[in-house]
Every structure is written in C-alpha cells, then in structure tokens.
Amino acid sequence: MEEQNVSSISSSPTGYSKGMVVFICMLISWVFVHRWNQRNMKGPKTWPLVGAAIEQLMNYNRMHDWLVEYLSELKTVTVPMPFTTYTYIADPVNVEHVLKTNFANYPKGEVYHSYMEVLLGDGIFNSDGELWRKQRKTASFEFASKNLRDFSTIVFREYALKLSYILSQTSAQNQQVDMQELLMRMTLDSICKVGFGVEIGSLAPELPENCFARAFDTANIIVTLRFIDPLWRIKKFLNVGSEAQLDESIKTIDGFTYSVIRKRKAEIQEARVHSKDVKLKHDILSRFIELSEDPDNNLTDKSLRDVVLNFVIAGRDTTATTLCWFIYMIMTHPHVAAKLYSELKAIEEDRTKEEKLCLLPYDPEDHTSFNERVTQFARFLTYDSLGKLSYLHAAITETLRLYPAVPQDPKGILKDDVLPDGTKLKAGGMVTYVPYSMGRMEYNWGPDAASFKPERWFKDGFFHNSSPFKFTAFQAGPRICLGKDSAYLQMKMTLAILCRFFEFRLVPNHPVKYRMMTILSMEHELKLTVTRRS
C-alpha cells in the first residue's frame, strides 16, 4: 500500500511538472554558463550543440560580407558547427602556410569531397593524392600546348563575335538584356569547343533553352547549401526537398555529359576508320579519352564525366562570372570605361598601321556596317596584341581582387597544426581561405582596399603582379589554377570587343548582389541596356 502511494505521487502531473522545471532550469543554466564563458571571446556567437550555426544561417545570403566584418578585425575566425569547425583565414602568411608550406596537411578532404561528389565526382577540383596528380599532369600538358592556345584564341574570338552580334541586334531594338545569361552561354559554348571538341550552340541568335546550364546552376546552389545544412543527408536518404531537386538536376547534367563523351568517342573512332595515322584533336577531353584506352589508367566513362564537369565549372562559370562583375564595375566607374576605350582605340590604330590597312567605314546606326567593323577589329586581336593591353589586364585583375570567381575555398585538416599567427587547428576540421574577404582587407591592400582602382596594379608605368598568397583569385601553391592564362585570354578577347564598340547602362533600380554558391554569380542576373559606339 505504501509503495503504491509513492508510485502514484511520482507519476502524478505535479511530480512530472517539477521534473520538467528542474530540467529546464538545468538547460538554461547550461546555456547561460556557455554564453558566460564566451563573453570575452571575439567572433560569431556560439551556443551549446549547434555552435555558431544560428548566426551563420541568419547571415547565409550575405555570408561573404559577414566574414569580411569579422576578418577585418580578427584576420582569423573560428566558427564551430554541429559536426565540424570551420576556420576562416585572410592573412597572406596563414594562406601561404595552408596552400604551400604545409600543403600535404590540407587536402580537399573527405568532408568537402562528400558534399561535392554528386556534382564533381572525383574530378581535379574534388580529388586529392595520386588521382589529383594524374589529372593535373595531363591537364598541365594540354594547357602548355601552343596548339591548344592557338585553337583557343580562334574559338574565343568566334564566340565573342557571336555575342557582339546579339548585342548589336539588342541595341538596334532598344531591348533590355540579361548579360549574365549571355555570358554564361558564351563561355559554355567556348569550353565545350575548346575542352571537348563539340559545338552545342547555346549562343545561337534564337538563344535556345539550355537545360544543362539551368540544371548545373541548380545543383551548384544546392551542394553549396550542404555546407551549413546539417539535415542534408536525411533529405538525401528520404529524397525530399532540395536533395530531391538536386537528384533531378544531376540526371539532366549526366544526360548531357555522357552524350558529349559518346559523341567525342564516336568522332575519334570514325576518324580512325578512315585514317590509320589519325591525330587526336587538341581538346582536353580527347586527351583523356586517349588515356582511358590504356587499361592501366583505370579511366571509365564515369571518370571522363567527372573531367567534363570539372572543366565546365572552371571554364564556364568562373570566366562568365568575372566578366559580369567587370561590366558592372565599368558601368559604375565610367572613368575606367573611358581609359579602356582609349587603349583599345590606340591598338586599333597601331594594328592598322602595322598591317597597312584602312579601317572599314561604319555607321553605328547601320547594323551591317557596324558588324563588319567589329569583325575587322576582332581580327586584330591576336594572342600577342591582347598581351599589350595592360590597362585592360589591370582592370580584369582588379575585378578579380574584389569579386573573385571562387569567393571561398575550404580545405580539410589531416593532422593537428598551428598557423603562423598561433591559431590551433584540430584534425578533422576545415580551414578556408577567403579571397572575397582578402581583397577587402586594409591590412592587405591599404586604406583604399574597398575601392575599384586598376591603377593600383601599376608600378613605374608597368603592370606589377602581387603575391599569389595575397591575390588568391587563382589559388596558389601546388594547386594554382592551370587555366589562368586561358581565362585571361578569353576575358581580354571578349572585353576588348565589348568595351571598344558598346556602352552599357544598368537598368534603373536593378538589384545587384551575389548568390550563395561555389561561384560568385549574381543572384538577380545583370539586366542592362546596350548602345553602339563609334
């Protein structure tokens, strides 16, 4: 009877309520003690279990600027998350330690690889060790080829002219244009021609629907969200929400990619049937297909798929994004546009004298004569003549300083380490150097760090490179970008034509802000109007 009374009391609503009150008090005390211990620590606010995830989620759409605010004061920021810890760095000394001095300790890592594998597989940007070295060696050989460089120059000129013809038509019809969409189409066509030897025609005058590009952008956004979404694996397992959308996007991406591989293989096989001594084209995919025919290389169609998609993100997204921000910069800095125009007019006059030619007469109001003159100017743009456009080169570089195509680049941590500034790093976490923040740090670039100023790149009248550990738009150390020269070549070719023959005006009240994904693209596109120049 006594035991029954005790049992009934402990299970009564009053007893249950007291237990809950005690539990809640303990929980509040735990949170209070945690926050009290954090009171003098600089950096994002952290909470038990979830770390800094709350503040990071609240600032997700402006994360790059959120990091600028912390890194401008701290240089190194530690952000605890539920399953790992991110350490963000902006000091060139720390960056050199991670990217070069202790390179072997900072691979892409399993965490990054697991997040990005669905899109990039085991490609060069998502692999480490021997697999990465083999791909880099092959790609390095191709990028060093004069044949590829000469072929690229022709292709980049061809597609820049196609873009100019579309803009000329747009100008004649006084239409608004989405410049980001056009540039993405141009660079996609270019990388498919240079990288894979195929013509896909997305920049055709009628601008056909581009399902691959749309799916690729969607997948890019979703895999980026995985870095702060602790539930993504659950959503993937259940195939719901963003992960279900990702799955559909990957099906579209793979359909396009495998069709490119099949087409290229068929072309190679057909050429061999007609000629025993056939030489492969100078595109990158052909070289990897050749390697895949050697059983020792273990290259499957899946491996080739990864090669294609890694070079798409390198050759399409990064270049188009930089071109977008460049055009935005010259629209908001008309004195820079004027200097570029003068430099381009000068090279036009010099090449005309060198080749003893007469410039074709044209009327900006006449579509046919205008396009003929643009075509004539484009012929002057060779690899060597583009190399003489130092102010254009500086303006592109300045754009990359403030708007790097890859705004953050995370690395895994294999073993415990200490950065040069004394920050301790734990194995299993991630360290991220932040090019977007680095370009805005006064301790890196001086009090005018936030200003767009191409002149900062000149010393005694000549363009002067900065340390790659300070200007990190192309990474540095063993993983420094192999396609840097190719990217500059395409950007110079395109911008030389656009800045010589067109003026751009932003559509009134059009919002310009970045979109959170691995590449710094514009969230609301880039809507503008175009006017032909004389």
Residue 380 banded pLDDT, cuts 50, 70, 90: very high
Write out pLDDT tens, residues 473-531: 999 999 999 889 999 999 999 999 999 999 999 999 999 999 988 899 999 999 999 99
Q: What is the pLDDT of residues 331-354, one digit of tens each?
A: 999 999 999 999 999 998 888 887
Write the CB contacts of 163 (distance below 8 Å, at least 6 apart in sequence). Answer: 182, 183, 186, 203, 494, 497, 498
pLDDT category of residue 140 using cuts at 50, 70 and 90: confident
- Domain match, 240 and 138 both: yes
Cross-strand bridge partners of residue 79: 86
Measured between alpha carbons, how far is 214 from 185 in angstroms, rounded to an integer?
11
Which among 121, 132, 123 is positioned nearest to 250, based on CA atoms? 121
Rounded distance between C-alpha atoms, residue 104 and residue 86, angstroms: 18
One-letter identity of residue 360 = L
Q: Tokens 């902006």 appear where?
A: 90
| 241: amino acid identity, one letter | G
351 and 407, same domain (yes or no): yes
Flag whether pLDDT at 106 surpasses 80. yes
Q: DSSP labels for 350-364?
A: HHHHHTT--PPP--T
DSSP 3-state of 381: coil
Q: Are residues 206 and 287 in the same domain?
A: yes
pLDDT band of residue 9 (cuts 50, 70, 90) is very low
CATH number at residue 85: 1.10.630.10
- Report, as an integer, the average pLDDT of 459-474: 95
Q: Compute CA 511 distance to the chain's CA centroid, rounded to the nearest angstrom.
A: 21
Annotated binding site: which residue ranges?
A: 481
Instruction: Give the residue-averaged pLDDT of 353-372.
Output: 84
Q: What is the pLDDT of residue 170?
A: 93
Query: Residue 13 pLDDT > 80, yes or no?
Result: no
| Main-chain phi, psi angles of 431, to 5 degrees | -120, 135
Question: What are the phi and psi torsion angles at 501 (to 5°)?
Answer: -115, 0
Residue 256 has pLDDT above 80, yes or no: yes
Q: Which two tokens stand for residue 115?
A: 């997040």
Residue 391, pLDDT above cutoff 50: yes
Local confidence band at 8 (pLDDT 50, 70, 90 cut-offs): very low
> Rounded to whole angstroms, what are the CA distances from 266 to 271, 272, 295?
9, 10, 19
Domain carrying residue 284: 41-532
Predicted confidence (pLDDT) at residue 141 exceeds the cutoff of 90: no
Residues 27 and 51 in one domain: no
Q: pLDDT digits over 40-75, tens only?
A: 456 677 655 556 667 777 787 888 998 999 899 989
Instruction: Tell me the binding residues for heme.
Output: 481
| Collapsed DSSP state (helix, strand, coil) of residue 503 | strand
Q: Are 29 and 137 in the same domain?
A: no
On whether both 416 and 469 belong to a single domain, the answer is yes
Residues 418 and 298 in one domain: yes
Nearest to 504 by CA among 381, 356, 333: 333
More confident residue, 299 or 164: 164
At 327, the amino acid letter reads I
3-class SS shares of the chain: helix, strand, coil, % to 5: 60, 10, 30
For residues 439 and 71, the answer to whether their CB atoms sit within 8 Å is: no
Q: Is 35 in the same domain as 48?
A: no
pLDDT of 103 strictly over 50 = yes
**Mean per-residue pLDDT over the chain, rounded:** 87
CA distances from 239 to 42, 121, 219, 225, 228 (A): 39, 19, 14, 16, 18
User: Which among 393, 385, 366 has a CA at the least distance from the CA of 534?
Assistant: 366
**Are 27 and 56 members of one domain?**
no
Specify whether 61 is located in the same domain as 151: yes
Looking at the structure, tell me whether residues 119 and 32 fall in a common domain.
no
In this structure, what token pair is assigned to residue 106?
């900072």
Residues 149 and 94 in one domain: yes
Domain count within the chain: 2
Does residue 531 sit in helix, strand or coil?
Answer: strand
**1 — pLDDT class (breaks 50, 70, 90):** very low
How many angstroms separate the CA atoms of 200 and 191, rounded?
10
What's the pLDDT score for residue 21? 62
Q: How confident is the model at residue 6 (pLDDT cuts 50, 70, 90)?
A: very low
pTM of the prediction?
0.86
The SS3 call for residue 80 is strand
